[in-house]
């Protein structure tokens, strides 16, 4: 019985470590190819913020039209998605993604041993420099409390400037995100998307938390890039943003993290990311 328990712990760790930042840091010397070095936050941009913004606006606009949104429909769209996830809705979002970006993504069992879920290109072709996914979750400034949410949580992403994004879609993390999202609602307008907490996110890019880290055997084909949502981002399209600030008194723009392709990626390939590290 003890042996079985130890084997179970070992298998869980093998899956956990592929997203666990301290494990990555402690193993840099063994796996230096998985790192991308940057000198400061401004140097982490593979593509300009304007290109990221345009990609999101293009997809979100198509999603809005495909959901047939007038103000009354906007009031009920997200709660309806949470109550009843239908095949028709999934096809609608897949078609919107293929039409606007030229590819589709889906979560499936990873090809990386013991890594659990991964993210794959299922249709079309991803061009180098394209925005392929977003890292959803609650955004915490470096000084804000996250201890309870971080316990046994392998989905906390650390930005270069110390900002944290909790991309866990279960437990207390899920409760916190839904609470903050409801708090920020402006009348009929939703300021964030809670559907990424389900198996059928209405924003098909909101799967970045399931992209596994690369290894020497599986080189990176995408990398993380920080993106601050500009104030001029249309209020009607903010309902598709899978991020929300933990605190209402944050003076900073909403932080998002996107994943950008390092090369052309064809249908059937799994996404593998690399971490950046600051060099001085």
pLDDT tens column, 62-117:
999 987 743 444 444 454 444 454 556 667 788 889 999 999 999 999 998 888 99
What distance, in Å, lies between the first and last C-alpha atoms of the chain? Answer: 50
Contacts of 63 (CB under 8 A, 6+ apart): 93, 96, 202, 203, 240
**Residue-wise pLDDT tens digits, 187-227:** 999 999 999 999 999 999 999 999 999 988 899 999 999 99
Helices 87-101 and 49-66, axial angle in degrees (round to 10): 140
* Angle formed at CA 211 by CA 74 and CA 85, multiple of 5 degrees: 35
- Tens digit of pLDDT for each residue in 110-163? 998 888 999 999 999 999 999 999 999 999 999 999 999 999 999 999 999 999
DSSP 8-state symbol, 189: B
What is the sign of the dihedral through the CA atoms of 73, 75, 78 and 81? negative
Flag the least confident range among 19-28, 128-137, 193-202, 258-267.
Answer: 19-28
Pick the CATH number of 43-69+81-279 from 1.20.1070.10, 1.25.40.340, 2.170.270.10, 2.160.10.10: 2.170.270.10
**Displacement of CA 179 from its chain's centroid (Å):** 19
Per-residue tokens: 34: 């998985």
Q: What's the gap between Cα 224 and its chain centre?
A: 10
**Do residues 275 and 24 make contact, with C-beta atoms less than 8 angstroms apart?**
yes
Cβ-based neighbour number of residue 183 at 10 Å: 11
Is residue 205 within 8 A of residue 92, CB to CB? The reply is no
d(CA 147, CA 131): 31
- 117 phi and psi angles, rounded to 5 deg: -80, 145
Cβ atoms 212, 115 nearer than 8 A: yes
Contacts of residue 201, defined as CB under 8 A and 6 or more positions apart, other chains included, come to: 93, 136, 193, 195, 207, 242
Does the pTM surpass 0.85? The reply is: no
């Amino acid at each position: 019985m003890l042996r079985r328990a130890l084997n179970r712990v070992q298998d869980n760790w093998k899956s956990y470590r592929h997203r666990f930042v301290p494990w990555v840091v402690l193993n840099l010397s063994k796996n230096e190819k998985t790192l991308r070095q940057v000198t400061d936050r401004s140097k982490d941009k593979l593509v300009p913020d304007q290109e990221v913004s345009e990609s999101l606006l293009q997809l979100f606009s198509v999603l809005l039209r495909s959901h047939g949104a007038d103000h009354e429909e906007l009031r009920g769209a997200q709660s309806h998605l949470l109550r009843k996830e239908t095949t028709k809705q999934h096809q609608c979002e897949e078609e919107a993604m293929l039409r606007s970006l030229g590819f589709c993504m889906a979560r499936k069992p990873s090809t990386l041993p013991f890594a659990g879920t991964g993210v794959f290109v299922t249709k079309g072709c991803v061009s180098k420099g394209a925005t392929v996914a977003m890292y959803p979750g609650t955004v915490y400034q470096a000084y804000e409390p996250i201890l309870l949410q971080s316990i046994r949580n392998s989905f906390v992403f650390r930005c270069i400037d110390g900002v944290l994004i909790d991309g866990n879609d279960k437990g207390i993390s899920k409760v916190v995100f839904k609470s903050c999202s409801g708090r920020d609602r402006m009348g009929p307008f939703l300021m964030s998307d809670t559907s990424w907490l389900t198996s059928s996110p209405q924003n098909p890019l909101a799967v970045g938390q399931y992209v596994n880290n690369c290894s020497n055997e599986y080189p990176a084909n995408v990398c993380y890039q920080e993106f601050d949502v500009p104030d001029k981002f249309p209020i009607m399209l903010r309902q598709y943003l899978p991020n929300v600030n933990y605190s209402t008194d944050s003076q900073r723009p909403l932080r998002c993290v996107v994943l950008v392709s390092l090369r052309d990626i064809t249908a059937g390939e799994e996404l593998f990311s690399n971490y950046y590290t600051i060099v001085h």
